[in-house]
Amino acid sequence: MITDEERKRYARQILMIGEAGQERLKLARVLVAGAGGLGTVISLYLAAAGVGHLRIIDCDVVETSNLNRQILHWSGDVGRPKTASAEEKLAALNPLIRIETVSGRIAEESIEEMAEGCDLIVDAMDNFPTRYLLNRTTVEKGIPFIHGAVRGFFGQATTVIPGKTPCLRCLFPKSPPREVFPIIGATCGVIGAIEATEAIKLLTGQGEPLAGRLFLWDGLAGSADSITVERDPSCPVCGKLKK
Amino acid sequence: MKITFRTFATFREVIGAREMELTLPPGEKIRDLLENLCNTHPGLREHLFDAAGQIKPYILILKNGRSITSLQQLDTVIDEGDVIAVFPPVAGG
């Protein structure tokens, strides 16, 4: 049941998702993997929407060069763990939800515990090796994985439903090279908001998720596209799952 | 045969079009299509191929939504009505 206070806070979205949808958000536990450019946008919108339990994982401290895009980290936060900085702002935004932070690296030996009990995982990483680990974990657990990535004015997003859609390995068999990537904060805003929208849609059962579609944002051209994508039957991660 | 060639991000800038309808001879392979496009679009080659002349491994080339890495790679034969998409995935967050 949602409370009177929640009814008032979420009034404008209850018009869309109903009290039942709001309750589904309240009961949800979502892992946001990263508290950087994408993660700060995603967690801000999920906290504001009333996702009841947010688990935010990051291993870094705030650096000055983060401040052009990582909107939960402010000038006074430089040197603090990103998880502490994010937790403080999100708790001030919405004291009705539970925010759990984990300051640590997502790795082979830690991912199982980090993902425990989550309804879905939202990708806010900055590298493909960790994304592949998150992807494999969601395939093993049979939970959705919402992928997003950015560079410069460009971004991509898709939603992986294990066994039904291509997984990240089907789509991107090889990782793009590691680099200090150029980025403008607004691109993180676009793709982070798409990912948060996907999470809310999945949790409330509304709309058509980006399942089997790769969303592509070109901020320079001001255009958005989506490509239909197919599973790879020989995928080493999800190939054995039945459709 | 007619096919659709779609480009994204930096490829769109080099090709100068979001989508092209192309008429190709039957049996043409992805390799032939890309080679011909490189010859007519200066700058495309350096975006697609590395110094050794190999296609950059992370570039996504899709035939009707499926990566050619799970088909016959550059030897994948193009069929009438195919949609071929070329896209450089990004990795930042």
B33-48 pLDDT, tens digit each: 999 999 999 899 999 9
- The ipTM value here is 0.89
- Name which of A127, A156, A232 is nearest B66 (Cβ-Cβ): A232
> CB of B50 within 8 A of CB of B56?
yes
CB neighbour list of residue A3: distance below 8 Å, 6 or more residues apart? none
Residues making up chain B, counted from first to last? 93
Shortest distance between the Cα of B57 and any Cα of chain A, in A, equals: 6
DSSP assignment of A195-223: HHHHHHHHHHT-S---BTEEEEEETTTTE
Contacts of B88 in chain A (CB under 8 A): 176
Give the DSSP H/E element, type plus range, for residue A123.
strand A120-123
Give CA separation, B20 vs A218, B3, B70, in Å: 18, 8, 24
Mean residue pLDDT across chain A:
96
Mean residue pLDDT across chain B:
93
Residues making up chain A, counted from first to last? 243
Q: Is residue A233 part of a domain?
A: no
- Name which of B58, B65, B67 is nearest A176 (Cβ-Cβ): B58
Q: Does A61 touch chain B (CB under 8 A)?
A: no
The domain over range B2-87 is classified in CATH as 1.25.40.80 = no
- For residues A55 and A203, what is the distance between their CA atoms, to the nearest angstrom? 15
Q: Does A192 touch chain B (CB under 8 A)?
A: no
Q: Does B91 touch chain A (CB under 8 A)?
A: yes
Bridge partners for A26 per DSSP = none
Domain count, chain A: 1
Shortest distance between the Cα of A8 and any Cα of chain B, in A, equals: 34
Contacts of A154 in chain B (CB under 8 A): 9, 90
- Name which of B62, B70, B92 is nearest A234 (Cβ-Cβ): B70
Looking at residue A207, what is its pLDDT?
97
Q: What CATH number did the domain enclosing A33 receive?
A: 3.40.50.720
Tens place of pLDDT per residue across chain A (243 aa): 999 999 999 999 999 999 999 999 999 999 999 999 999 999 999 999 999 999 999 999 999 999 999 999 999 999 999 999 999 999 999 999 999 999 999 999 999 999 999 999 999 999 999 999 999 999 999 999 999 999 999 999 999 999 999 999 999 998 998 899 999 999 999 999 999 999 999 999 999 999 999 999 999 889 898 889 999 999 999 999 877
Q: What secondary structure, in 3-state letters, does B1-13 show? A: CEEEEEECHHHHH
Place of tokens 């402010």: A74
Q: Is residue A147 part of a domain?
A: yes
Domain ranges of chain B: 2-87
Backbone torsion region of residue A183, taken as left when φ is above 0, otherwise alpha when ψ lies between -120 and 50, otherwise beta: beta
Angle in degrees, CA A116, A121, A127, rounded to 5? 115
Q: Does B69 touch chain A (CB under 8 A)?
A: yes
Looking at residue B10, what is its pLDDT?
85
DSSP assignment of A55-103: EEEE-PBP-GGGTTT-TT--GGGTTSBHHHHHHHHHHHH-TTSEEEEEE
Does the distance separating the beta carbons of B9 and A216 come in below 8 Å? Answer: yes
Shortest distance between the Cα of A28 and any Cα of chain B, in A, equals: 24
Q: What is the residue range of A58's domain?
A: 4-228
Size of interface A-B (CB pairs under 8 A): 96
Shortest distance between the Cα of A235 and any Cα of chain B, in A, equals: 8
Shortest distance between the Cα of B18 and any Cα of chain A, in A, equals: 10
- For residues A116 and A130, what is the distance between their CA atoms, to the nearest angstrom? 17
Name the residue among A60, A45, A50 with its Cα closest to residue A7: A50
Predicted TM-score (pTM) of the model is 0.94
Q: How many CB atoms lie within 10 A of CB B61?
A: 21
Q: What's CA A239's distance to the chain center, in Å?
A: 24
Both tokens assigned to A86: 């994010």
Both tokens assigned to A60: 């870094």
Contacts of B60 in chain A (CB under 8 A): 171-172
- For residues B67 and A228, what is the distance between their CA atoms, to the nearest angstrom? 11
